[in-house]
Amino acid sequence: MADTPFDRFIDFVECKQQHTALSGKYNTLQNKRDALEAEITERQKVLDEEHSEVEALKREVHLVELEGKSLRDREQEIRRRLPQVTNQKEYIALTKEVDEIERVEDTNENRLLSLFETAEQREVELSKHTSTFKACLNEQTKQHSELIMQCDRVQKEIVEKQETCVALEKLVEAEQLSEYKRMAATLDSPVVLVDADHCLACRFRVANKDLVQLRRQILVQCKNCYRMLYQRKK
Ligand SMILES: [Zn+2]
């Protein structure tokens, strides 16, 4: 139990530090969650686009097939009319038309074949990509649920830590608290631990005479970053 003003102040300071660390942890988790959601959305979008392309190709195949059928019908109709033709001029015109239709049919069939192959190929690719996406989505959904749970856990810890900080703040001497708040307005972690004779925030070496003060549990100011330094009793 903290029994000196120094201990009470440092308990409060460390509670604040833990609160800041938890907030940082929460932000990191939240960023990971956002990134994961964006990734899933993006993958879904790519797959949807691929799906639309395959559908468009299939529609095109269908249209070309219809065009082919109408060409065949027209050709048959002309061929039926040919024996009934009475003059040479009409006969030539009709056979010319048949030739033209056959030429178009030829082009149409080549186009259909190529479209059909492309559509088939794209459909196979889409099916592969869909399987990969589903497997990946399962994994990502698990990760996402885990991140949500972690976020909730940390959020709860933050609330609890905040309550502890408020309780500890009441035990800090008024003058020390207002000094802390004044510094906290411009500095993150205005009071930091000395780690192996160095300021934990800026790694500046603490002078020997200050180290003596610190051992007596007196706060000293870092000559480099102006934060207050402290040392816990070993
Ligand atoms: Zn420093």
Q: Ligand 1 center to residue 20 CA distance, Å?
A: 18
Helices (H), 170-232: 174-184, 208-215
C-alpha neighbours within 13 Å on the C-beta side of residue 57: 20
Q: Ligand 1 center to residue 174 CA distance, Å?
A: 25
**Is pLDDT above 80 for 1?**
no
Domains and CATH numbers, the chain: 24-154 (1.10.287.1490)
Q: Ligand 1 center to residue 193 CA distance, Å?
A: 10
Closest CA to 72 of 117, 110, 109: 109
Where is pLDDT greater, at 3 or 88?
88
What pTM was estimated for this model as a whole? 0.76
What is the structure's pLDDT at 74? 95
Q: Ligand 1 center to residue 222 CA distance, Å?
A: 5
Q: Ligand 1 center to residue 197 CA distance, Å?
A: 11
Q: Ligand 1 center to residue 202 CA distance, Å?
A: 4
**Is pLDDT above 80 for 2?**
no
What is the structure's pLDDT at 234? 66
Q: Using one digit for the tens of pLDDT, what is the confidence trace for 29-40?
A: 999 999 999 999
Q: Ligand 1 center to residue 203 CA distance, Å?
A: 6
Q: Using one digit for the tens of pLDDT, what is the confidence trace for 172-183?
A: 999 999 999 999
What is the structure's pLDDT at 233? 77
Q: Using one digit for the tens of pLDDT, what is the confidence trace for 141-155?
A: 999 999 999 999 999
**Is pLDDT above 70 for 113?**
yes
Average pLDDT (188-214) is 95
Q: Are 220 and 214 in contact (CB under 8 A)?
A: yes
**Is pLDDT above 60 for 65?**
yes
Q: Ligand 1 center to residue 53 CA distance, Å?
A: 60
